[in-house]
Each structure stands twice: as structure tokens, then as C-alpha cells.
């Protein structure tokens, strides 16, 4: 793999996704290079999959950017979702450059940077503003999405214009009334667009994505029929969804209680910036909930993805300080089930229902709409922008492939469409475009805010411990004679229940004792060799007799 810049030559533009083209819902990060200049679009994280034991979140491998830190002119953010901004604290520690984004995006980022004690220049921009960073001039173009203040990017380079759509859908009736800037996208199409990178999340879905306002109708229907408390769980960053819940609560003369640190923080930020409008005396503190009649209370909270420590999870398991589920409560999970979270969400739904709640969720009720464009919208975007070359982004391979098919059906030649992998280098020049090389890319597993990244081998060990447990062999040798004076003692956790499996433990003890008696003098004299011998013998025994592969940890004491 190359780590040298592939775009260092004059009049060559390189596009390098470091995340977001092999996964959906995370790691979005793209590098653009021209000459000696580099800009970065987004720097997102991904939440762990079930087999990533003990991992808090995942970020893209940043080594390529760090190696070229002196060439980075700035970071551009399309919107404030964590799958586009969550890796910023780690990136900025190594590459302290200015960050450009719309006001709400930067306000959310600022809170995250404070948590990690990272400081940098945060430069606020508005739609249709432009900034120049080295060889690049970037125009911010308003789009509609599931979060306020989303933008696409029009990137002007000496070689031609590039459109990066960010996350978008064509919502004709957005909650805040701010329509997508169709005119500017069409202008780029008329001027000529060299390359477009476009959101592929819903490339498999036909038709158009429903407007965010459709959720209000579902809320109104539920509110009209419900006589008890209403609990709505959604993403803390979905200000439009929070606004609609508040609007319907006001319509039905109810009071609102906001729970969850991130949701309270985001709502306060949005309120201060004017993106969230709450009538006076509507938002009450949670300690007043106990005095509120059930038919007047609406609770907004986090935990729509089944996060173990979220407010909704603690409510579902009866561990929340202020909120206990009772008969008559209605819980609305107003968010899409992110792939991989189905089981944890299902567990929360089960717990809520067992406690008497009526639960409305995506598969059983229309209480969520996507923030991403479906097939017809994706084709409209292509027809507005009319790019010469096309790269689908923000999706797994099947979604990228479907988006590529839409591009071909829209008239873009097959050899002008590139499905990239993380680390792929798409190089454009006056003679055309080609995928020529690869830079180092991958994933970094983060375990704790200040902890170092978790290596793959650590995850493998955690999976083994979780699946087959651990067996500890403790042996004490007399230092001079090398005679066994302690043990062998066998301790197991997660392998077999010792009190009920004394026969197995006795067999293992006898095997280890016999192994020590059989080894040569040079092995018994070397602690490392003896540990390796015991481990290998027990591993073979357990494999052959029980088809089990626990972690084996021999401990040799010299006394």
C-alpha cells in the first residue's frame, strides 16, 4: 500500500474515502487532494457491532491524514450527526486545522470537543457561503435531512467542479420551512460537474421518501387516542423530530419533559440558536413529573437504539430514578432500527410491554420517516447535477451497487461510475478518471474516552472469553529443586461450573500433573517453556474431548 500522496502532480485531483463506502451509519470521511493541498469532508464514528465486545465506538484509521498533516487545509462538515463528526476529537488532536460548518453543526461539535479537551478554530458558514482552502473553493448548499442545518458541498477545483451531497432527501415540506436549494444544484449542472459523490443509504428503496411532516400526523393520531403518559424515544440530534413532538404536545395541551444528557444538551443548544421553538412553561424539569397528571405528560428521551445505559433502557428495566412504567403508558420508538441493533431494541420493547406499556415502533407503526433520499430522488439529483463521473457513497456494497445501477439508467456511462472501497484512490485528470492505487485505511476501536485504541487481537480474546471462558493452571515450583510444591490447581470461569464438574477438573489436574512429570529437565527449568507445554497439552485435550477452546492461562510460581 502506498502512503505517499497520489495527487502531488499538477492538475490531478484525487478522491480518497477513508470510511463510509463499506458501511452504512458510520465512519463517513473523504479526502480530496489537488497538488499540495488536501481537504477533508466529515470525520465520523460508528457504534460497535455485537461482536465488538467492550468497544465504545469505532473511528476510521487516520494514519494517512496524519502522515500528510502539513498539507491539510481544513475540515468541512456536512451536518451534525455523529457518523459524520464523531471522530473529530481524535483527528484534531493529531491534525489541528480549522473546521467549517453551519451554526448548529459547530455547536454540537463544540460540546464534543470540550469533552475531549480539544480546541481548534470553528468557523461558522451559512448556505451559499464560500470558502477558499488552497486549490479548493467550497460552496455550502442547503439540503433537507433529519437534522437541521445540513449542507451539500460544491467543490471547485482547477480541474472541474465536484458535488458532495452529504446526507439528503428531497423534502417538499420541511419542518423548519427551509427548502433544499434546487437552484444551486441545477446551476452546477448547467456549468458542468466533473464528479458527484452521492448518499446511497436508501438506493434500494423505490419511490420517494416521505416528508418529515408525515410523522406529525402519526403523532397526532397517537396523542388523540392516548389517555396516559406518552414517552417518545428518538435520536438526540433529530431536532425536527423533537420539534414536532413539542408542537403536538402543545396542540393537545400537554407538558414536555426532556430526559437524557445528550438530548437535554442538544435541545438547549438548538433552543439558544433558534432552531427549536418551545412555548414558555411547556418544557418542565423532570422532578415535576410526579405531580403531573398522566394525561398531560409527554417525555422525550434517548435510547431508541437499545443502548444499555440510555434513559429508555433504564426505564424499561425499572432502574430510572424518576420514571417507572405503568399500565396506560404509551412508548413511541420514533427512529429507524439501525442494522445490528434489532436484538437490543427487541429486548427493550419486551421489557416495556411486560410492565404494561403500549409500544409503537417502526415495524408496527408509521412513527418514523427516513432522512435519506429514495430511488426517484436520487435520479432527480443526478439529473439536476449531470455529473461526468459518479461515485456512490454512504452505504454498504449492495446499496452502492444499486445506486450505480441508477446512475447507468440515468445516462452515466458504466466506465464513468466508480464503486470505491475505504482507502481507494480515484484519480481524475484532463484525460479521464481511474482507480489507480490504495492508501492505508481501516478501523480503530475505541474503548473509553482516554483509553488507547483496541487491537483486533484484544477483541478476539474477548470473544473467546465470552464464548468458552478461561482456565487458569496454577503451579508452584521449589526454586532450586524444581519440585512441585503447590498444585497444580485448576481454576475456571465461564468454562464449566466447578462444583458440578469436579470430575472434569480432576481430569485436567491429573493431566497437568502428568505433563509436568513427563517434561525434560530443560523445560522444567524454564518457566516460559513450561507454560507453553502446559497450554499446548491442555488445549489439545479440551479440543479432542470436549470440542471447547477456552483461554488457557498457566501461572508458574517459584517459591
Measured distance CA(152)–CA(144) in Å, rounded: 10
Q: Which residue out of 199, 247, 329, 447 is catalytically annotated?
A: 199
Buried b (16+ CB within 10 A) or exposed e, 314-323: bbbeeebeeb
**Annotated catalytic, 440?**
no
Stretch (H or E) spanning 477: strand 470-477
In the residue annotation, 199 being an active-site residue is answered as: yes
C-alpha to C-alpha distance for 500 and 492, rounded to whole angstroms: 12
Helix (H) or strand (E) holding 401: helix 397-409
SS3 assignment for 137-179: EEEEEECECCCCCCEEEEEEECCEEEEECCCCECCCCCCCCCC
Point out the catalytic residue in the list 84, 145, 351, 372: 372
For 255, the grid coordinates are 407538558
Task: Give the 3-state DSSP-derived string for 237-294, with helices as H, strands as E and coil as C.
Answer: CCHHHHHHHHHHHHHCCCEEEECCHHHHHHHHHHHHHCCCCCCCCCEECHHHHHHCCH
Q: How many C-alpha atoms does 215 have within 13 Å on its Cβ side?
A: 31
Q: How many CA atoms, within 13 angstroms, populate the side-chain half-sphere of residue 125?
A: 26
CB of 92 within 8 A of CB of 114? no
How far apart are alpha carbons 135 and 156 in whole angstroms? 8
Residues 6+ apart with CB under 8 A from 514: none
Q: Which residues are catalytic?
A: 199, 372
Amino acid at each position: 500500500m502506498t502512503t505517499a500522496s497520489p495527487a502531488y502532480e499538477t492538475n490531478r485531483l484525487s478522491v480518497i474515502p477513508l470510511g463510509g463506502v463499506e458501511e452504512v451509519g458510520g465512519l463517513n470521511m473523504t479526502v480530496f487532494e489537488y497538488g499540495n493541498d488536501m481537504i477533508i469532508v466529515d470525520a465520523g464514528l460508528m457504534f460497535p457491532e455485537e461482536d465488538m465486545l467492550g468497544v465504545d465506538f469505532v473511528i476510521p484509521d487516520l494514519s494517512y491524514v496524519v502522515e500528510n498533516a502539513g498539507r491539510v487545509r481544513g475540515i468541512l462538515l456536512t451536518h451534525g450527526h455523529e457518523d459524520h463528526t464523531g471522530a473529530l476529537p481524535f483527528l484534531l488532536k493529531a491534525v489541528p486545522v480549522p473546521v467549517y460548518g453551519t451554526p448548529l453543526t459547530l455547536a454540537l461539535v463544540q460540546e464534543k470537543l470540550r469533552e475531549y479537551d480539544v480546541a481548534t478554530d470553528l468557523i461558522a458558514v451559512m448556505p451559499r457561503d464560500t470558502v477558499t482552502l488552497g486549490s479548493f473553493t467550497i460552496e455550502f448548499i442547503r439540503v433537507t435531512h433529519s437534522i437541521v442545518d445540513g449542507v451539500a458541498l460544491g467543490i471547485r477545483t482547477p480541474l472541474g467542479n465536484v458535488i458532495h451531497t452529504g446526507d439528503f432527501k428531497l423534502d417538499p415540506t420541511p419542518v423548519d420551512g427551509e427548502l433544499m436549494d434546487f437552484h444551486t444544484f441545477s446551476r452546477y449542472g448547467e456549468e458542468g460537474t466533473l464528479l458527484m459523490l452521492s448518499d446511497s443509504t436508501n438506493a434500494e428503496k423505490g419511490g420517494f421518501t416521505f416528508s418529515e411532516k408525515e410523522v406529525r400526523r402519526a403523532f397526532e393520531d397517537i396523542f388523540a387516542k392516548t389517555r396516559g403518559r406518552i414517552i417518545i424515544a428518538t435520536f438526540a440530534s433529530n431536532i425536527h423530530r423533537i420539534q414536532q413532538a413539542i408542537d403536538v404536545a402543545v396542540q393537545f395541551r400537554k407538558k414536555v419533559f426532556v430526559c437524557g444528557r445528550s438530548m437535554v444538551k442538544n435541545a438547549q443548544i438548538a433552543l439558544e440558536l433558534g432552531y427549536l421553538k418551545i412555548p414558555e412553561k411547556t418544557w418542565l424539569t423532570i422532578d415535576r413529573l410526579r405531580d403531573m397528571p398522566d394525561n398531560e405528560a409527554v417525555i422525550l428521551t434517548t435510547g431508541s437504539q437499545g443502548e444499555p445505559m440510555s434513559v429508555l433502557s433504564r426505564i424499561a428495566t425499572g432502574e430510572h430514578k424518576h420514571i417507572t412504567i405503568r399500565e396506560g403508558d404509551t412508548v413511541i420508538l420514533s427512529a429507524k432500527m439501525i442494522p445490528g441493533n434489532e436484538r437490543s431494541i427487541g429486548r427493550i420493547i419486551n421489557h416495556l410491554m411486560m410492565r404494561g406499556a403500549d409500544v409503537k415502533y417502526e415495524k408496527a407503526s408509521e412513527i418514523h420517516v427516513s432522512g435519506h433520499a429514495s430511488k426517484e430522488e436520487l435520479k432527480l439529483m443526478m439529473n439536476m447535477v449531470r455529473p461526468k463521473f459518479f461515485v456512490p457513497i454512504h452505504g454498504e456494497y449492495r446499496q452502492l451497487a444499486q445506486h450505480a445501477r441508477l446512475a447507468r439508467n440515468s445516462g452515466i456511462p458504466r466506465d464513468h461510475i466508480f464503486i470505491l472501497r475505504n482507502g481507494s484512490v480515484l484519480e481524475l485528470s484532463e484525460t479521464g478518471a481511474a482507480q489507480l492505487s490504495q492508501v492505508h485505511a481501516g478501523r480503530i476501536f475505541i474503548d473509553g474516552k482516554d483509553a488507547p485504541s483496541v487491537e483486533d487481537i484484544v477483541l478476539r480474546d474477548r470473544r473467546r472469553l465470552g464464548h468458552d471462558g478461561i482456565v487458569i493452571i496454577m503451579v508452584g515450583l521449589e526454586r532450586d529443586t524444581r519440585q512441585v510444591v503447590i498444585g497444580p490447581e485448576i481454576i475456571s470461569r465461564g468454562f464449566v461450573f466447578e462444583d458440578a464438574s469436579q470430575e472434569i477438573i480432576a481430569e485436567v489436574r491429573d493431566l497437568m500433573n502428568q505433563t509436568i512429570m513427563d517434561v525434560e529437565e530443560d523445560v522444567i527449568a524454564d518457566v516460559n517453556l513450561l507454560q507453553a507445554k502446559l497450554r499446548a497439552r491442555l488445549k489439545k485435550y479440551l479440543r479432542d474431548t470436549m470440542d471447547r477452546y477456552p483461554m488457557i492461562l498457566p501461572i508458574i510460581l517459584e517459591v
